[in-house]
Amino acid sequence: MAGDNARGLKKGLTSYGDSAFSLFLRKAFIKGMGYSDDALDRPIVGIVDTFSAYNACHANVPDLVEAVKRGVMLAGALPVPFPTISIHESFAFPTSMFMRNLMAIDTEEMIRAQPMDAVVMIGGCDKTVPAQLMGAASANIPAIQLVTGPMMTGSHRGERVGACTDCRRFWGRYRAGEIDDQEIAEVNNQLVPGAGTCGVMGTASTMALVTEALGMMAPGGATPPAVSADRRRSAEESGKLAVALAANGLTPDKIMTVKAFENALTVLLATGGSTNGIVHLAAIAGRMGLELDLDAFDAMGRKVPVLVDLKPSGQNYMEDLHRAGGLPTILRELKDHLHLDCMTVTGRTLGENLEAMPGGWTQTIVSPIAKPLFPEGGMAVLRGNLAPGGAIVKQSAASPKLMSHRGRAIVFSSIADLGARVDDPDLDVTEDDILVLQNAGPKGAPGMPEAGYMPIPKKIAAKGVKDMVRISDARMSGTASGTIVLHVTPESAEGGPLALVRTGDFITLDVPNRTLTLEVSDEELAARRADFTPPVHEGSDRGYKRLYMETVTQADHGCDFTFLMPPKTGSVPEAK
């Protein structure tokens, strides 16, 4: 009765040794929810509900669930919402990245465990969309991603503001003594004026755009604001598409191909997207058996310029990009860099979807590719004796004068050490020095927090200095800017060269030539390595933390768990 091709309520029956009884019992209990036999005989579309009172990015999820349900029912199927973990960047200890893989496991296993022919996954805040796509890739039933959408902007003393580039900008001014307690309190009330994800090109916006480019989202679904009617219409369309996906058996493995990931990486570069995007795409691709080739990605970045004028690389907000036509406006400029024949959740190719969208119009948010905002991609990959496994810098949001820089290292051994000493008036530091943070990577922190955006020491900030070179094995928010080298691999806690840097060493950063060099002899580094002791974290002997510490990979492999990743069958981008 319930073989491999079972559909609807007959799918994945609970094991009682009698499949007819299993179905009988299942129907008895779900009828307690008020369903009729007519409803229960239809295909089932699961809806991942990630509402949480801790998560303002997901405040509109109840409305979106209703809109998805409407779309599913209009297409003749039965919608069944169900909950999973919800993660908010500012409310997860020690960091949301620590929880991403747990959410991916939760998503995958609940999709597997419950009867559904397709699933609509609703997420928004930074780590939720990657977690859901990772889970969907592994479960491999027909799936479509729906994002909650960006928040609208607020207003502070006549100036348009929004989370969270402006959060960091105003906090930097406050630390420098440029604004007082009253003004920082006032702006705090305006930075997040309502529901939705950060309204700049942070990680949430980045993941929305690359997911649409990947083919896993309804066309035009990345940019509608959370509170807009367009967002609800996109949700309804997602419900309809899910029913069609179930009927056609169009599974994620047929959509998330090498070429599709190349499209996503192209959009990541062209939008000046979050550096977190490269970690998340590495993890999602890893679930499809694909290894991210950082050098090939960097070569791609030499050819794909930044086109989108959004903070932190530009000056505008996601609501402006939506009014400018959203991702389709970007894709039209990138046509020569895209694989337009890639299949998408619509059952049509990316190129066919693009042709079906409204034509472009005059706008100032997306630059013509002949006159880009920045001549190369937003990110560059660095290598050298300090980062043999690679490091990332968001060059489109860095200070041009610091892109080639030699400076003395000022080393902080941990995030706690940074917090204790960075503002010490007696700290021996100048604006020409390089701040180095150790033990903030996947295992070192643990969880690879967004600590790479180290604060400028107060006594330096008070002089009006807005940027310094900063190097770490941590991440930073996509909403942040500065000359900040991140994801140094191998990380300090694994005994990587970053762990061997000492205050007073000289480091040379050369972004144009893609190098990061610690000016210390191999003999001296070998002597320091002999004294290396990895950090030990309290509570790592049990539970999820133990699982995390024993199985998490490095940043270049997406910080996924080793046991969740299939054997590698290829790489992305493919070497040309």
pLDDT digits (tens, 9 = 90+) for 124-182: 999 999 999 999 999 999 999 999 999 999 999 999 999 988 999 999 999 989 999 99
Q: CA-CA distance, 198 to 537, in Å (whole number)? A: 32
Tokens of 124: 């928004």
Q: CA-CA distance, 530 to 49, in Å (whole number)? A: 50
Is the CB of residue 415 less than 8 Å from the CB of residue 440?
A: yes
* Residues in the chain, pLDDT under 50: 1-3
Compute the chain's Rg from CA coordinates. Answer: 24
The DSSP bridge pattern shows strands 387-393 and 44-49 to be unpaired
Intra-chain end-to-end CA distance of the chain, in Å: 49
H helix or E strand, kind and range, residue 43 = none
| pLDDT computed for residue 4 by the predictor | 61
| pLDDT computed for residue 576 by the predictor | 65
Handedness of CA 334, 335, 338, 340 (dihedral sign): positive
User: Amino acid identity, residue 477?
Assistant: S
| pLDDT computed for residue 359 by the predictor | 86
pLDDT digits (tens, 9 = 90+) for 373-415: 999 999 999 999 999 999 999 999 999 999 999 999 999 999 9
Q: CA-CA distance, 516 to 510, in Å (whole number)? A: 6
| pLDDT computed for residue 289 by the predictor | 98
Tokens of 364: 């100032």
| pLDDT computed for residue 5 by the predictor | 81
- Taking each helix axis as running N to C, give the angle between helix 229-248 and helix 61-74, from 0 to 180 degrees, rounded to the nearest 10: 50
| pLDDT computed for residue 125 by the predictor | 95
